[in-house]
Chain A
Amino acid sequence: MATPPRSLRSWERVDPEEFSRRVAGKLGDAAASVDVRNGTIHVTLPAGDVVGAARVLKEDPELDCAYFNFLSAVDWEAEGFEVLVALHSLTYGNTVIAHVRLPAESPSMASLTALYGGANWHERECAEMFGIDFDGHPNLVKLYLPEDFEGYPLRRSFKLASRRYKAWPGAKDEEEAAAGGPLR
């Protein structure tokens, strides 16, 4: 094993506010905004250079976000997609979540697989669930769904067939009962 990553050698907990200042300082213009919500640092990145910013987060010794937590997306319908990349800095005890806005039509982003090996499966899942293309991914094939599955299930526009035909019988509120089933 080569030099073990910083995370293995010593841990020094840093307050989230202080860590967010460090992140903002290191990323500079690369980040559109950095703020702390509920103890996690949220960074908004433009879609152009996600890999560069992620590289700073991972390789800078004062940030050391070497732990790849997850990558997923949120479908905001007309406003497009929001890709989330969650990283932990075990050395400094903080979580950084990067938000990347993508357009609703043909959303595409650079792949993080060169930087984090763990991004491989997460990006495959995101691609098949939302239809987001990850440029540079070695093997962007379906992960969960059968080969012949059509559609992108986690998009809001994908409606569950069973609910179209049969509303959930246990409607909880008067509004739902009056509307003849769940409101969403």
Chain B
Amino acid sequence: MTIDGDGRERVHRVKLPKSVSFLLNWSRKYSLWMFQFGLACCSIEFIASAMPKHDIMRLGVIPFPASPRQADLMVVAGTVTDKMAPAVKRVYEQMPEPKYVISMGSCSNCGGPYWDSYCVTKGVDQIIPVDVYVPGCPPRPEGLLYGIVRLQNKIQNENIPERWSGHAAKIPQIMGTGRSGGI
């Protein structure tokens, strides 16, 4: 359902057969191209999860794309500062639909240990919509792997028509410009 311009709810007439949506979701969840947006410490655990011991590639997350324009999944790993926030938003906008975001680590979840800093964006969900939050400081590589599995479940259960039609309404508004401090 979407809310149209007059504020009325409209139920969609388009219905995808279950097998088609299953196939589309299944193929998408097992071929995620993960854009490496490692900012800080979490990026090291992110790299460790791609290494032979934890091996993120067995979940289908290969290869690492050369640019955001080819990526499906953005993992924001690390603290998002106010100076970096516009770049994060720009990179997110460069990704084509359907795109997913995993927020890895407590800094990008909610500001983390820098909750009282004057130049940190308290959570990347203030700028872009997040699908899965992986807690930890830093999360273990197994934690990131679990986060990706949860995302894959989410993708599997996605309702494709709803996602494609009502999507624009789901992006949260930017809450605050990120300038916190200096009152």
> Which A residues have a C-beta under 8 Å from some C-beta of B?
144-146, 148-151, 153, 158-164, 168
Contact = CB atoms under 8 A, between A and B. Distances in A.
Interface stretch (B34-42, B52-60, B114-122): B114-122
A161 B180 CA distance: 6
Contacts of B179: 148-150
Contact of B118 (A148, A153, A168): A153
A144 B83 CA distance: 9
Given A149-B119, A158-B118, A161-B182, 5 more contacts: A153-B119, A160-B181, A161-B181, A162-B117, A162-B180
Q: Per DSSP, are chain A's interface residues mostly helix, strand or loop, or mixed?
A: loop
Contacts, number: 42
Interface string B108-151: 00000001111100100000000000000000000000000000
Contacts of A146: 82-83, 119
Contacts of B83: 144-146
Contact of A151 (B115, B117, B182): B182
Contacts of A151: 181-182
Interface string B63-106: 00000000000000000001100000000000000000000000
B111 to A, nearest CB: 8
A160 B119 contact: no
A153 B82 contact: no
A87 to B, nearest CB: 30
25 contacts: A145-B83, A145-B119, A146-B82, A146-B83, A146-B119, A148-B179, A149-B82, A149-B119, A149-B179, A149-B182, A151-B181, A151-B182, A153-B119, A153-B181, A153-B182, A158-B182, A159-B183, A160-B116, A160-B117, A160-B118, A161-B181, A162-B116, A162-B122, A162-B181, A164-B183
